Amino acid sequence: MTSSPQFIRCLADCPATGEYNPICASDMRSYNNPGKLRCAQRCGANIRALRSGPCEGL
């Protein structure tokens, strides 16, 4: 789902700040900031935030 062309296009078109404030999500991906995580959710990803910071080390 999250690698489909439609999802990638939706995520690219979603407005979010360029701020680097990483957040680890339940898909074990690190999103650059909470806005990018919300974009992924709006584009159809069934995910939630796990913690602030990158997923590395989990």
Show the domains of the chain with their CATH numbers: 5-52 (3.30.60)
pLDDT at 1: 55
54 half-sphere exposure, CB direction, 13 A CA radius: 4
pTM: 0.83
Using 50, 70 and 90 to split pLDDT, how confident is the model at 2? Answer: low
Lowest mean pLDDT across 3-7, 20-24, 52-56: 3-7
15 half-sphere exposure, CB direction, 13 A CA radius: 0
Of 15 and 52, more confident: 52
pLDDT, tens digit (0-9, with 9 covering 90-100), for 36-56:
999 999 999 999 999 999 999
Are 25 and 31 in contact, with CB atoms under 8 Å apart? yes
